[in-house]
Structure 1
Amino acid sequence: MPAMIVHYLFDYINFTSCLVIIFLFLLLIDVIRNKNPPRFPPGPRPLPFVGNVFTGLDFRTINKLAEEYGEIFSLRWGSDKVVFISGYKMVKEALITQLDSFADRPAVPMFEKIFQGLGLIASNGHMWKMQRKFASSYLRYSSDRQKPFELSIQQESIFLCDAFKDERGPFDPQLLLSNAVANIISSVVFGHRFDYHDGHFQNILRLDTEAIALSGTTQTRLYDVLPCLFDHIPGPHQKMFANYKIILAFLNDEIKKHKESLDPSDPRDYIDAYLVEIEKRKSDPEAGFNMTTLLLATLDMFEAGTETTATTIQWGLLFMMKYPEIQKKVQAEIDRVIGQSRQPVLADRPNMPYTDAVIHETQRMGNVVPLGAPKSPSKDTTLGGYFIPKGTVVTTNLSSVLYDKNEWETPDTFNPGHFLDEQGQFRKRDAFLPFSAGKRVCLGEQLARMELFLFLTSLLQRFTFSPGPGEELSLEGQLGFTYAPSPYRMCVTPR
């Protein structure tokens, strides 16, 4: 009996020792593999194997870490290192001064699963240049045709105002705003708009909003640590992927309809023009013009052309209710410059400095894409005295630019005066970067600026906005990939 106990104890010690040795060996490999190169940006000490996965990736946490570690610091997410760049001067240095240094997109597992490194946003190199050039050319061409963007937005503003007028009592404007903004890019991409009572399209909008919100949460981002494992376990990432599967099926149906009715001599919209381009570009397969890329480029156009602008308008209406004295001043300028007998036009904007300032301040305070889209250096790069190796994931903290205490007089206060000079005329601000900057600047910036002005002035020309009875208006938003207002209900009073 004692001999058996000794034998068992000996086996146990051997087994335990083996586990300890294996653990120490794996720990050594982890330390060696993840050792930072000289002059790499500092950051909080990572845990073995998983890194800083328990550190929040929301912009407020990133801002606090920047105060502690400096405007350039790093986190480790699994085995991947992420460098964060904060503050106007340093973000400007990265995106504008070093124009070519941070123009690539990194291979982030979650986005790779959806976008496969294709399309307008996720691609790199020759493919990205050709895809962006084609989309940019088409947007310019589309705005010069018989039905330019301005007219399309004006017509959609009428539908939106009528929909608001039909509401009885307090209502949440989120879905109507998303539908209205989506119809502008839908007219470009699909060649038609969608009625506000189209249940299928409204479901697509809901799924897209939910997917974008989920993509920015810490729980979902855990997928990037061990994608092979998380592919097989439940969680919010699975809901996000399921949503995108339905959205892509919807877009694929639109593409199939276009293929069946395509007249190559007379392309009706972006999908038609792309289908024609696929035939033209057969000799240049590296440019990526094929059916898969069309599907993902269409997803890029649809999402980029809807979510951020609709969310900014949501913020705008919230701010108008929160600060009714500002709403009255905007309406007074609208009445003075436009009146009530005609619709707003883009030519009115230079004569409406206060309204323009309010819209810009809405974008600044709304902070809709606080951390921008991830980038990576195309070559080994030095920034602020730190070494950032080629391929490192880099996040430019746009929130820190829009709230930079060195650039804005009252960064934490909604203040249209940020964009007005002493004579009350509109003034541009260098630190106003809601669309990012550099080679990866938002492709739809000009369209978004048109939409914000025409939609908001049309709504404020027709209505006065106030919170629903008992509604507590909060300026605390909900953070996903975008930063959106908490749901609210509002009342509209015709003017």
Structure 2
Amino acid sequence: MGYFYAVFMSFFELESFGPHEQRCLKHSSRFVDNLPLSRMTSVWQALSHLISQWMDVQGILIFLIVLLLVKHLCDVCSKNMPPGPFPLPFIGNILNLGFKDPLGSFQRIAERYGGVCTIYFGDKPLILLTGMKTFKEAFVEQADIFTDRPNFPLNDKLSKGKGLIMSNGHMWRQQRRFALSTLKYFGVGKKTLENSILQECRFLCDTVHTERGLPFNPHHLLTNAVANIISGLVFGHRFEYGDHKFHLMQQYIDDILQLPLSNCGRLYNQFPKLMSLLPGQHQTAFSSMSKLQPFMHEEINKHKEERDPSNPRDYIDCYLDEIEKCKDNAAEFTEENLIQCVVDLFSAGTETTSNTLRWAVLYMAKYPEVQEKVQSEIDQVIGQTRQPLMDDRTNLPYTYAVIHEIQRFANIATFTPPRVANKDTTVAGCLIPKGVIVMPMLKTIQLDKNEYRTPYEFNPAHFLDENSKFVKKEHFIPFSIGKRMCPGEQLARMELFLFFTCLMQHFTFLPLEGQTLSLKGTVSVTSGPKPFQICAVPR
């Protein structure tokens, strides 16, 4: 090192350095004085050669980086996409979204760039749709253009393009039509299903009574009650709340639903081959899907042995009949498709309503003045002995408004499942190219300050007029709109009203002493409250 130090320092005047530097230079110079001139010359030549090579490499790297940025800029501009934050090469807008609060980042981007805007995941664009006007223009006025789902690697791995939620084209239309007609046949929207829900309400209230007003986590009880309604429609029977198999099935579905909006899910969609080799939340979800298959096979095999084609008992019976009818035609009705349809029905029919009920219980404890008004109205109209009926809705305007405000404020589905346009089109004057992923963001509609006076506050008055009568809002679309809106909307509305009213009729929900209830939600396909303890005091 003395050689190099001496060579470089010899280019400067000794007096320009401090005492320490002067001592170092003199010390190093002793080595130089003893070197032959030819040796010093070779050292300097070697250094010069290394420096010139490094400058050449550095110049080439700078040139290539500039060239890459220019090409990236040209590529982004040439696509004529809707406005949005500028994406970086390779990583796109990942830094704009962050990892701690991706959902909040989506909302901030939408607020800044408007109802139709673009973000990039890697080099792939994604278009955000927000606002009621853009939703109606895309999914109602251009419904036939926006019926398809994109082919995410994650969805291909989990559902293989089958089922009700992520299928496309003729298969989707066939499966949806069949599901809607079958659910209607077994009572959705009718008095027969109302009786089944009221029976489950009794089981739920009896189980909550066993807690004797002591602290407990209502998560599993509410999920069990809601899951039993869809179980009756799909499997033809309910499960006991302590059934281990029942809990495992719920856990597996929960693992699957947490994946799409997680960091692991986003990375898997970008780098499926690499992520397949790495551990993480995605591997847990894939394992849960494989473990779920035997449960479904067991139920299907039981139905095969016991079913009477002339007297179908549930969705599986009807589907097996359809397989028999279509066995010589195109293979849209198969056992593989049946399994995925059952998973979709069970998960969608459980997760949304149970999460909404968990928020309902939490809000009642958080806002005791609202809970008191609900109970007072129920006592006046129904009393504390007769079970509520769907016909009571018109006489319970405040209770009905509270249920709607719970759905609006909780906003459990920030996004509806993504879409793609099947041809180039425009929405709000912006080009939507064929095949580009479109993410419809419900949250901005539910928090529209032009529609709700206090959008960021829990306020049942949003759904009441000046005479305290219930007001239906056109902008209230928790189940989305258009041809791919939630097929279980009627069922969910019935469940929410009857379960909520029964719980309010029998219990007062209180926070633990000294506890401050958090209103932060979990990140999943639907967002529920984070685990909490509560007291259900019998009335």
Equivalent residue for 2:92?
51
Inter-partner Cα distance in structure 2 for 1:79 and 1:252: 40
Aligned partner of residue 483 in structure 2, secondary structure: helix
Unpaired runs of 5+ residues, structure 1, are none
Mapping of residues 279-290 of structure 1, within 5 Å: 279-285=324-330, 288-290=332-334
Structure 2 residue 194 is matched with structure 1 residue 153: no
| Cα distance, 1:258 vs structure 2 | 1.7
Aligned partner of residue 419 in structure 2, secondary structure: coil
The one-letter code matched in structure 2 to 1:333 is E
Equivalent residue for 2:19?
none
Q: 1:158-178 CA distances to partner (integer Å, 9 max, x unpaired)?
A: 000011011142001011111
Equivalent residue for 2:249?
204
Q: 1:114-164 CA distances to partner (integer Å, 9 max, x unpaired)?
A: 011111111111111110000000011010799821011000000000110
Unpaired runs of 5+ residues, structure 2, are 1-38
1:227 to 264, 272, 297: 272
Inter-partner Cα distance in structure 1 for 2:429 and 2:384: 57
Q: 1:337-370 CA distances to partner (integer Å, 9 max, x unpaired)?
A: 1112211111111111110000000000010001
The one-letter code matched in structure 2 to 1:231 is S
- For the aligned residues, what is the CA RMSD? 2.8
1:140 to 177, 180, 184: 184
**What TM-score, normalized by structure 2, do the two folds share?**
0.85
Contact 1:185-1:302 at 8 Å conserved across structures = yes
Contact 1:50-1:225 at 8 Å conserved across structures = no
Q: 1:305-341 CA distances to partner (integer Å, 9 max, x unpaired)?
A: 0001000000111111111111011111111111122
Mapping of residues 71-470 of structure 1, within 5 Å: 71-143=115-187, 148-168=192-212, 169-285=214-330, 288-470=332-514
The one-letter code matched in structure 1 to 2:327 is K
Q: Which moved more, 1:363-372 or 1:207-216?
A: 207-216
| Cα distance, 1:247 vs structure 2 | 2.2
Q: 1:189-215 CA distances to partner (integer Å, 9 max, x unpaired)?
A: 011111011122112213322332233
Contact 1:464-1:492 at 8 Å conserved across structures = yes
**What TM-score, normalized by structure 1, do the two folds share?**
0.93
The one-letter code matched in structure 1 to 2:373 is K
The one-letter code matched in structure 2 to 1:241 is F
Q: Which moved more, 1:221-230 or 1:59-68?
A: 59-68
Q: 1:347-402 CA distances to partner (integer Å, 9 max, x unpaired)?
A: 11111111000000000001000111111112111011111111111111100000
| Cα distance, 1:104 vs structure 2 | 1.1
Inter-partner Cα distance in structure 2 for 1:401 and 1:42: 20
Shift in CA distance, 23/275, structure 1 to aligned 2, threshold 3 Å: farther
Shift in CA distance, 22/166, structure 1 to aligned 2, threshold 3 Å: farther
Inter-partner Cα distance in structure 1 for 2:189 and 2:68: 62
Equivalent residue for 1:40?
81
Q: 1:200-255 CA distances to partner (integer Å, 9 max, x unpaired)?
A: 21122133223322331223211110111111111221122222222233222212
Inter-partner Cα distance in structure 2 for 1:109 and 1:128: 19
Contact 1:102-1:375 at 8 Å conserved across structures = yes
Higher relative contact order (CA 8 A, sep 6+): 1
The one-letter code matched in structure 2 to 1:342 is R
Contact 1:217-1:481 at 8 Å conserved across structures = no
Inter-partner Cα distance in structure 2 for 1:177 and 1:115: 27
Q: Which moved more, 1:363-372 or 1:376-385?
A: 376-385
Inter-partner Cα distance in structure 2 for 1:276 and 1:229: 42
The one-letter code matched in structure 2 to 1:117 is G
Contact 2:408-2:446 at 8 Å conserved across structures = yes
Shift in CA distance, 82/340, structure 1 to aligned 2, threshold 3 Å: same
The one-letter code matched in structure 1 to 2:103 is F
Contact 1:79-1:225 at 8 Å conserved across structures = no
Inter-partner Cα distance in structure 1 for 2:91 and 2:188: 52
Report how many aligned residue pairs link the two structures.
Answer: 493
Runs (4+) of structure 1 exceeding 3 A deviation are 19-39, 144-147
Shift in CA distance, 258/79, structure 1 to aligned 2, threshold 3 Å: farther
Say which one has the larger Rg.
2
